[in-house]
Amino acid sequence: MLPIKITEIKPVKPKNDYLGKVFSAVREDDDSNFDLIISLEQHDISFREFSHFLITIDHLYGRFYKKGFLSYSMSPDVHLKASEIRQGSIDIIIENVFKKLSINNVVYFFLMIKYLPALFKETSETIKNITESWSNYENARKTRLERKNIRIELRKDELLKNLSDDEIKKLGRNLMDKYGKEKKSLKKAARFAAKKLLNVKLKQKKS
């Protein structure tokens, strides 16, 4: 998986759950001025695939909205916006993300973007696209296989090295459940991310 860079970080109080262990270095207070930056390869961008990627990111964000996804959908003023799009690579900047979401939801939002490429493996015979099983989501064997595959990807991540096996399993299970709510656009978004997503990072604003 792609490496994550977290710059100018400060420690926070320890948490009891795995989410706190993942981002133990990120401040919890409301004044944590961090931007979330999504970097994409800038050449040969399919309008259609890019639109599915952006819609999926918007939906992932909206499901963390404190009043619920339906309220988010009907409230244009709170819809996710890019404060800036930079050239070079395409950097999509989401400003002050900790002022928009709780720290737990930032963790999930961050990881769900980062691991989109893991959901689409065009050349792999063993890692299947997880969206294939959602027409029969109660199929226990497929569900176990999919969760196993996402855990494999999670264990490769240096950021998650302090998590126990049980915590990796819990994280993988929760990510899969949250991804499952976006089955309509997720497959195409994952395909785009597999080809174009370069990095996802949290960067603290300079004071």
For residue 96, give the nearest of 39, 33, 37, 38 by alpha carbon.
33
Q: What is the mean pLDDT of the chain?
A: 77
Alpha carbon 175 to its chain centroid, in Å, reads: 9
Better pLDDT: 204 or 179: 179
Kindly report, residue by residue over 133-153, the tens digit of the pLDDT.
555 544 566 666 667 778 888
**Per-residue pLDDT at 28 exceeds 50:** no
**107 close to 39: Cβ distance less than 8 angstroms:** no
pLDDT at 126: 38
Residue 72: is its pLDDT beyond 60? yes
Edge-to-edge strand list for the sheet holding 34-40: 6-7, 197-204, 34-40, 90-94, 84-86
Q: Are strands 197-204 and 6-7 parallel, antiparallel or unpaired?
A: parallel
What H or E segment, with its residue span, contains residue 52?
A: helix 47-62
Name beta bridge partners: 93: 37, 84
Query: Does 25 score more than 60 pLDDT?
Result: no
